[in-house]
Amino acid sequence: MSAGHHHGHFTHSHHDRHGPHGHMPTNFSRAFALGISLNIIYIVVEVIFGLLAGSMALLADAGHNLSDVLGLAVAWAGAELAKRPPSKRFTYGLGGSSILAALLNGLFLLVACGAIAWEAIELFSAPSPIASTTVIIVASLGIVINFGTAMLFVRGQKEDINIRGAFLHMMADAGVSAGVVVGGIAIYFSGFNWIDPLISLLIVALIFWSTWGLLSEAVRMSLAGVPRDIDVEDVMEYLASLPGVETVHDLHIWPMSTSETAMTAHLVLPDGHPGKGFLAEVQQQLKKRFAIHHITIQIELEDEEADLCGTDCSSRKQR
């Protein structure tokens, strides 16, 4: 670095990540363990009674719940890996594993959609008799189990896409079970067995709809895209409005994990370093306004701007 540069670099330990989108406020290991155990038991019950009752809707829901158990396990693994401290090989830690977990969760659900839809379409040609009373009872149990599991993750779902994935899956399952109950009641009163595969297709549509947003966000985060709740222009405008700042360039914002965000930026100040406390104040405001916690700011003199950023500089401060 040349003599004309002043470099401010903020780093934080793993346990110093808080704020609206910072480190998870609660250890969810017990919630994951309990949720997985309850759903495995319920899957066994659904498969047994689905076969006995001849209900594709119950078997479809069991398949979906199996994918959610796998999803919960992956989310749990991602959350645990994200707790590991930085090392010489992984200087940011393993927080990125939670992004991979969210991405795999979305893929699991898409595979489940395809399998359920295939079976349901085949059943339309030859719908089989359904023991609707059994279907209603078993699916009602599913509403209780899935909703209860979702509530285990409700506190963390606003802060972490990985936890939100677990929460949304369980809430979708509760809704799916409610749909199966409605279908069982409709079959009981109407005798139309084709309602069962129809409910299965509606389940697929619901799963796909709830999965698409999670999957698209996970893909964006895996490609180091700016988190959706951060507006780059707003960050640029804030930095450009700082006292003494002439130009802001090389601004980069990317997710380090599903709950942490990093940022780097170059600020050009014609009069050199702005004085004591400047960088600390910028760090505090970026954390408060945009939930950015890992911040690196490089301060440059005005006469170095052209050499460093050429025509790529942007957001020149209005005088």
Q: How many helices (H) and strands (E) does the chain have?
A: 9, 4
Query: In this model, does residue 311 exceed pLDDT 60?
Result: no
- pLDDT score at 94: 84
How would you label 236-257 residue by residue, b for 16+ Cβ within 10 Å and e otherwise?
beebbebebbbbbbebebebbb
Per-residue pLDDT of 6-62, as tens digits, reads 444 433 333 344 433 444 445 788 888 998 999 899 889 888 888 887 777 677 778
Per-residue pLDDT of 73-120, as tens digits, reads 888 888 888 888 888 888 888 888 888 888 887 887 788 788 778 877
Confidence band, pLDDT 50/70/90 cuts, at residue 233: very high
Is the CB of residue 187 less than 8 Å from the CB of residue 132? yes
Which position has the higher pLDDT, 314 or 89? 89
Query: In this model, does residue 1 exceed pLDDT 70?
Result: no
- pLDDT score at 253: 94
- pLDDT score at 23: 45
Residue 257 identity (one-letter amino acid): S
Query: In this model, does residue 185 exceed pLDDT 70?
Result: yes
Location of each CATH 3.30.70.1350 domain in the chain: 6-15+227-312
Query: In this model, does residue 5 exceed pLDDT 70?
Result: no
- pLDDT score at 251: 94
Range in 84-88, 112-116, 166-170, 302-306 the model is least confident about: 302-306
Location of each CATH 1.20.1510.10 domain in the chain: 24-222
Which position has the higher pLDDT, 172 or 226? 226
Chain mean pLDDT for the chain: 78
Query: In this model, does residue 232 exceed pLDDT 50?
Result: yes
Instruction: Say if strands 261-268 and 294-300 run parallel, antiparallel, or are unpaired.
Output: parallel
- pLDDT score at 59: 79
pTM over 0.75: no
Per-residue pLDDT of 234-273, as tens digits, reads 999 999 999 888 889 999 999 988 778 999 999 998 776 6
- pLDDT score at 243: 87
- For 289, the token pair is 């306004």
Distance, in Å, from the CA atom of 163 to the CA atom of 208, rounded to the nearest integer, reads 18
- pLDDT score at 165: 76
What residues contact residue 191 under an 8 Å CB cut-off, 6+ apart? none
Query: In this model, does residue 314 exceed pLDDT 50?
Result: no
Yes or no: domain 24-222 corresponds to CATH 1.10.3720.10 = no
Yes or no: domain 6-15+227-312 corresponds to CATH 3.40.50.300 = no
Query: In this model, does residue 228 exceed pLDDT 60?
Result: yes
